Chain A
Amino acid sequence: MPIPLRSSEAPIPVSSAPQPPASGSHSSNGIVSRQRNGSAPPSLVVQDLEHWFGSGANRRQVLDRVSLTIRPGEVVLLTGPSGCGKTTLLTLVGALRQVMAGSVQLFGQELHGAARTERQLVRRQIGMIFQGHNLLRCLSAEQNVQMGADLLPGLGYRARRDLSRQWLRAVGLGDHLPKLPHDLSGGQKQRVAIARALAAQPRLLLADEPTAALDSRTGREVVELLRRLARDQGCSVLMVTHDPRILDVADRLVEMEDGRLSEASISSRTLSGSVG
């Protein structure tokens, strides 16, 4: 059973580490945050992005003139049937793949034509949470989180370790620091993964079906936690999900079908989700 989370008070990790400016209000209503950040430059701008696999006769287009903008602190959910190109979009936005056509701008930097090392530097500003938790099996929970914190420049070992512990406490795993991943439950592992992603102080968080391996209640808790912590850090979130029960955490909902994106209304989806 998952550990009950501290609900109302947002646990901002306090440390000597440089922190991104904390947002003023921790409202659970995403609209406030969106309006507040309306004037700030967007974290992510995708324009006319196209992508295909294979070549010649076998060439198969997976993304077709995709455009998407995410502002700082915004939580965007991406849904759609499997195989429609969601994950491909995520890898392109995550600077894990070379952009073929179109434009992806992360924090003002164009990824189209960016060299491998440039993309790798950009990746340090992106946190990633995977369907499988992808924790390092030989590291304890604390050490796993510190692998994220170790990417921060200018911090000593102790500062990074303290930061990792604070993040683990923030996700409610303060009592499980020395445990190895196989001693943790699925929900706990996913929470360690969230702590690891956030410990690197990313400006954009990409999550690919983070609740897929979790039961509904745990999944709900994990997503709520993710949204709250990301928003406290002023970090945008792009989350791929099939789970209709978590759609209401989004500021915005986009739907993908056959490689094309379309904006969907939150209320209708949430309703149909809870009905179905």
Chain B
Amino acid sequence: MFLDHLWPDRRIPLAWLLLTRQPGRLLVALAGISFAGILMFLQLGFRDGLFDASVTLHKRFAADLVLVSPRTMSSIAMASFPRRRLVQVMADPDVAGTTPVHWNFLLWRNPQTRSTRSILAVGFEPGDPLFTDPGLVERTRVLSQRGRVLFDSLSRPEFGPIATWYKQGRTIETEVAGKRVRVAGLVELGPSFGADGNLLTSSETFLQLMPGLPPGSIELGLIRLMPGADPATVAARLKSHLPEDVAIYSKQGFVEFEKNYWRSSTAIGFIFTLGAGMGFVVGSVIVYQILHSDVSDHLPEYATLMAMGYPLPQLLGVVAREGLLLALLGYLPAWLAGQGLYTVIRNGTKLPVAMDGARSLLVFGMILTMCLGSALMAMRKLGDADPAEIF
């Protein structure tokens, strides 16, 4: 046989046989472990998905560095700062370009039901790079006409069937903040945790929609650097030159800043981590029950093996291997079910939930800990096996 050459010193695979010769018990164990794994995948997926969803726009900014007001805590409450700061930034030789951005939540009237709902409006100079999406700059040219907006076709359906109507060729006019606007095109951005929908417009239109806004103030300044410039160095230099009324982040730092707000200032992280923890506990209890009763049932057999001269560590190894096998066999269906559930969640909630390597590894680590920990607990029972009692 092939295995004879590959592994000539192997022994009877006792752990494997103990598990597989009791298919009923194995099935219960695997169902329990898979269930725990699925619960963990689900909860952690929701958690990460929600955090990721808070930065759907942030991740696309065409920027190396980002300027915001130090009073800004998150994208749902952006404070303003003087636009002049961005002009000052341009003086730095490593800065290639900047984009001043207006950012606020406005009331959008659903053209079908006439009800209003808060939408995130982003105002910028048409033709300026805002997002990294290719071809977007060209499409924003239509915004140079006053009163035109680009509607995010991935916005939640509560804003009205804008995308469908637009594709049918209908002219869509509605109210934003009480002013009439026309939908001049569609973009695909996706709702974030704070915003159910997005629209893009020109700075001019934006100021028209919010007439009370001081004209020289913006909420966000995107800074692009010359090729080869180190963002950290430039950020430090700019920081030393600029007054205290702006904060500067790298793009990734800005993404983390936003995620951190949701992580630390809301209960989301706690709730879903707790949920994953529950899965861990439930799984541990099931695996422990299974392994403990397995050891108890086979106690005379373990004692016999001890009497034959098998050392205790080797028998403990059998229990540990049972735990390892259970972890491996239980993880696979959990991972597959997780894939399926993520697809369902993506379609149902439009949250960016996907199976990534880090989470796959994390859940595997948790299942492994769960199974080996339970095996360790069950091993204590093995200490009860007294070979002197079997005669």
Chain A interface residues (CB < 8 Å from chain B): 87, 90-91, 94, 96-97, 117, 120-121, 123-126, 128, 130-131, 134, 136-139, 143, 146-148, 150-151, 156-158, 180, 196, 200, 208
Contact = CB atoms under 8 A, between A and B. Distances in A.
Given A96-B387, A147-B12, A151-B309, A134 B300 contact: yes
B310 interface: yes
B8 interface: yes
A137 B21 CA distance: 9
A138 B22 contact: yes
Given A123-B308, A157-B4, 18 more contacts: A94-B307, A123-B307, A124-B308, A124-B309, A125-B309, A126-B309, A128-B304, A128-B391, A134-B300, A136-B305, A138-B298, A139-B21, A147-B12, A147-B305, A151-B309, A157-B11, A158-B4, A158-B8
B10 A157 contact: yes
Contacts of B304: 128, 130, 134, 136
A123 B298 CA distance: 21
B9 interface: yes
A97 B391 CA distance: 12
Interface string B1-37: 0011001111110100110011000000000000000
Contacts of B301: 134, 136-137
Among B21, B22, B298, B312: residue with most chain A CB under 10 A: B21
A138 B17 contact: yes
Nearest to A117: B311
B388 interface: yes
A53 B292 CA distance: 30
Contacts of A180: 21
A125 B307 CA distance: 11
Interface of B: 3-4, 7-12, 14, 17-18, 21-22, 298, 300-301, 304-312, 387-388, 390-391
25 contacts: A87-B391, A97-B388, A120-B312, A123-B308, A128-B304, A128-B391, A130-B304, A134-B304, A134-B390, A136-B305, A137-B21, A138-B298, A143-B17, A147-B12, A147-B305, A147-B308, A150-B11, A150-B12, A151-B308, A151-B310, A157-B8, A157-B9, A158-B8, A200-B309, A208-B391
Given A136-B301, A156-B9, A157-B10, A130 B391 contact: yes
Contacts of A130: 304, 390-391
Nearest to A94: B307
Given A137-B301, A139-B17, A156 B8 contact: yes
A139 B301 CA distance: 11
A173 B387 CA distance: 27
A148 B12 contact: no
Contacts of B11: 146, 150, 157
Contacts of B9: 156-157
Contact of B7 (A128, A137, A157, A200): A157
A131 to B, nearest CB: 7
Contacts of A196: 308
Contact of A138 (B21, B300, B305, B306): B21
Given A130-B304, A139-B17, A123 B10 contact: no
A148 B307 CA distance: 11
A134 B302 CA distance: 10
Nearest to A151: B309
Contacts of B390: 130, 134
B23 to A, nearest CB: 11
B311 A120 contact: yes
A8 B120 CA distance: 98
A131 B300 CA distance: 13
A150 B13 CA distance: 11
A180 B21 CA distance: 10
A96 B304 CA distance: 11
